[in-house]
Amino acid sequence: MKDMKAGFIPALGTPLNQNGNLMVESYEKQINDQIKAGAVGILCMGSMGQQAYLRQTICPQVAEAAIEAADGRVPVFVGAMDCSIRRAKERIAAMDHLAIDDYVFTTPYYNPCSRDQVMNYFKGVAAATEKPILLYDLAPVTQAKITYDMVLELIRDIPNLKGIKSADTLMFRKLKLNPEVPEDFIMVYSGLDMFDIAYKWGIDKCLDGMMTCTPANSKKLFDGMAEGDYEAAAAALDNIVALRDLFVARDLWPSYTTAMNLLGYEGDFGPDYVSPIKEEYIAEIRGELIRIGELAAE
């Protein structure tokens, strides 16, 4: 992990059939396309991957399918977050036999948690596995922010804590400048809108679910930054953000499913309570995918 290259880590969408079972071929196609586009890692069952909505019995199947499809080409991060230590430990126990590179944990997300509760949670779940773990700072969803001082304490107290995903640029700057933070501590940025700016600060890894439906632009983004062509990189990033904003305006989950289906990935990529997308939005999403170069014009 210390030698993990700069680049993008897509938060994979999890394609399900009408019975809520994994559509393995669709999942494998998505993973292969992401690696072909230059992904330096993949996140299986993150927030975009429906981790909170999947049946417990499905989770090990999803993780195993991701590991087999990646086939050692890139690290596989696996979400195991839940709302209690006991429940998270059940997830870990069901998957710990697999060749997972790192588990990823948000704070508990059902009720707001105090600082002490968050710290107890992370220490409890980390003790349940010998595998490395990453913190996932997702405060808008979980209602609990992971702060700089919490990260420092957890680094001291959790031997297998190896990194964090966050959109907190200031926290990343402070972590990078702190000599007490191990050199191999992974910092993965999730502030998509500002990533080209963060890259100039040395924050060179980005993780987001939008990468799964924008592989061409994700490649252009990182190729541009690696070559010092920040204008081209900014244009690619603007395309990714524009598509995301369209999804949000037209209902995120059905819009995301529509885009993934248009790109050739079968299945439902959203929770089972989501209403179908309005017919008029499909053409709009198709048009935007064509405009940004992710889909060929017919």
What distance in Å separates the CA atoms of residue 289 and residue 292, rounded to the nearest whole number? 5
How many domains does the chain divide into? 1
Per-residue pLDDT tens over the stretch 33-71: 999 999 999 999 999 999 999 999 999 999 999 999 999
Model pLDDT, residue 2? 47
138 belongs to a structural domain: yes
Pair 69, 38: CB distance under 8 Å? no
257 belongs to a structural domain: no
Opening angle at CA 106, ends 249 and 146, nearest 5? 95
* Mean model confidence pLDDT for the chain: 94
222 belongs to a structural domain: no
What distance in Å separates the CA atoms of residue 124 and residue 22, rounded to the nearest whole number? 30
Which helix (H) or strand (E) segment holds residue 29: the answer is: helix 24-37
Per-residue pLDDT tens over the stretch 228-240: 999 999 999 999 9
pTM above 0.75, yes or no: yes
Which helix (H) or strand (E) segment holds residue 230: the answer is: helix 230-249
208 belongs to a structural domain: yes
Pair 282, 246: CB distance under 8 Å? no
267 belongs to a structural domain: no
Per-residue pLDDT tens over the stretch 143-197: 999 999 999 999 999 999 999 999 998 999 999 999 999 988 999 999 888 888 8
181 belongs to a structural domain: yes
* Range of 199-208, 220-229, 259-268 with top mean pLDDT: 259-268
User: In CATH, what number is assigned to the domain containing residue 66?
Assistant: 3.20.20.70
Q: How big is the chain by its Cα radius of gyration, in Å? A: 18
167 belongs to a structural domain: yes
Distance of CA 239 to the CA centre of its chain: 19
What distance in Å separates the CA atoms of residue 103 and residue 213, rounded to the nearest whole number? 23
Domain with 81, as residue range(s), is 7-213
Closest CA to 70 of 105, 94, 50, 98: 98
Query: pLDDT category, 6, cuts 50, 70, 90?
Result: confident
